[in-house]
Amino acid sequence: MGLVRCAEEDETAVEELRRMILGELEDDDGGFEGGGGRMWKGERRRGIPGKRMEAGAAERVERRMPVCVTSGVSYIGWAIADRLMRRGYTVRLVVETGDDLAMLGETGAFEGTEASRIFPVVVNMMEMSSLCEAFDGCAGVFHTSAFLDTAGISGYTKHMAVKEASVAGKVVEACVLTSSVRTCVFTSSLLACIWRQYPGLARRSVSTLVDESCWSDENLCTDKKLWLALGKTMAEKAVWRAARGKDLKLATLCPALITGPGFCARNPTSTIAYLKGGREMYAEGLLATTDVSRVAEAHVRVYEAMGGSAAGRYICFDHIVRSDRDAAELCRGAGLAEHLSIIEGGSDVAPHFQLSNDKLRRLLSSRHCFVSDLIR
């Protein structure tokens, strides 16, 4: 899903995206045609007709098949696409409008050594036929679920939460219907794990560990008007429902507040939306951040490990905000210094909960062999 932008913001967005594509995101070494999803210049479409292939044969084939990344103009969407290309994958990049496609073209995204590995396509994310056509011939889909209204004050509304959940469910349904697609990685959020309520004295008896087994309470999110947390929770539950009992491997990533070069310039409203309730998150030890390069790497590593034991949810964070100094630095780095009050004051009490990213850390530290290494 793309970003809903004001027209006057396009020039700035193009420049920021251009800088990101030129490599300012990365910490390692590492011509197109539009249309309604019908043509990918230079790409051979390798749809697999009929029912899905047996696992062993399918894995041999899909190592050379493209993968699809939705929300191609979003910060996280491009970061994942870029990481995939650096690993040797061919990427079909989904955008929602011709304007998004033109913006990518203006940035020079399809020039240089990696240009032969990326193929943009305009897709109507609300239409099943459009989604299936975009996914046809791809072995896997990365649905990044970026949904923001930069014209809004908070960047996110209850209506958008409902729409995001609907689109997320459709994406997984389309994956199930597309015979070539065997794997889907969905980008959720840590916000889908941390907002829970404990009536009375029950809080004292619950585990203080927050891991992949924890889900945010939709009623609590609604009561507190935490629309981004509500949207991420609803969307992630929607994809798990859509995949249940189906011949599709699914994993979800739950990153903390995403940071990185140029992020605040392109996504100030997403940071504001994430930090709604920030003081409470800070007080409870649940306010964390993660660099976009780590998030992108985690997506690729999880995808490549899903042929083995990788499955389920993965919490992703690098740093937990534990002091007023950390909080002030976060707001300054995000260009929100004047909004420090949304966080400050949260250190008056000892944090009650402890975040865990052990599951993802074990995967990232394993000697897992990349599929892209096997095809070179």
Closest CA relative to residue 139, chosen from 76, 58, 213, 198? 58
| Encoded tokens for 323 | 């002091």
Say what the pLDDT of residue 112 is: 59
The rounded distance, in Å, linking the Cα atoms of 274 and 256 is 9
Say what the pLDDT of residue 33 is: 32
pTM comes to: 0.80
Q: What is the dihedral of CA 134, 137, 140, 146, to 10 degrees?
A: -10
By the 8 A CB rule, do 338 and 354 touch? no
| Burial (CB count <10 Å: 0-12, 13-18, 19+), residue 173 | buried
Q: What is the mean pLDDT of residues 83-94?
A: 93
For 109, how many CA atoms within 13 A lie in the half-sphere containing its CB?
29
The rounded distance, in Å, linking the Cα atoms of 294 and 291 is 5
The rounded distance, in Å, linking the Cα atoms of 364 and 316 is 11
pLDDT tens digits for 7-64? 444 555 555 555 554 544 444 433 333 333 333 444 443 333 344 445 544 454 455 7
Distances (CA, A) of 191 to 207, 211, 230, 235, 298: 18, 12, 8, 12, 18
Catalytic residue among 51, 158, 232, 359: 232
- The yes-or-no verdict on residue 243 having pLDDT over 60 is yes
Give the Cα-Cα-Cα angle 165, 141, 64 (nearest 5 degrees): 175
The rounded distance, in Å, linking the Cα atoms of 146 and 126 is 14
Say what the pLDDT of residue 71 is: 87
pLDDT above 70 coverage of the chain, percent: 66
**Chain-centroid distance, C-alpha 17:** 17
| Encoded tokens for 295 | 């998030």
User: Among 11-15, 162-166, 236-240, 269-273, where is mean pLDDT lowest?
Assistant: 11-15
- Higher-pLDDT residue of 158 and 115 is 158
Average pLDDT, the chain: 78
**Chain-centroid distance, C-alpha 94:** 13
Closest CA relative to residue 83, chosen from 18, 26, 22, 16? 26
Closest CA relative to residue 318, chosen from 240, 248, 376, 260? 260
The arrangement of strands across the sheet holding 288-291 comes to 257-259, 288-291, 319-320
The rounded distance, in Å, linking the Cα atoms of 293 and 303 is 16
- The yes-or-no verdict on residue 267 having pLDDT over 50 is yes
- Higher-pLDDT residue of 38 and 360 is 360
Handedness of CA 222, 124, 265, 118 (dihedral sign): positive
Q: Is 276 a catalytic residue?
A: no
pLDDT tens digits for 298-352? 999 999 999 888 899 999 999 999 888 888 888 777 666 555 566 665 555 567 7
pLDDT tens digits for 221-235? 999 999 999 999 999
| Encoded tokens for 139 | 């072995």
Say what the pLDDT of residue 48 is: 35
Quickly count helices (H) and strands (E) in the chain.
16, 14
Closest CA relative to residue 353, chosen from 194, 219, 202, 212? 194
Instruction: List, in order of start, the domains of the chain with CATH numbers.
Output: 63-365 (3.40.50.720)
Taking each helix axis from N to C end, the angle separating 75-86 and 292-305, rounded to the nearest 10 degrees, works out to 60
pLDDT tens digits for 172-204? 999 999 999 999 999 999 999 999 987 655 556
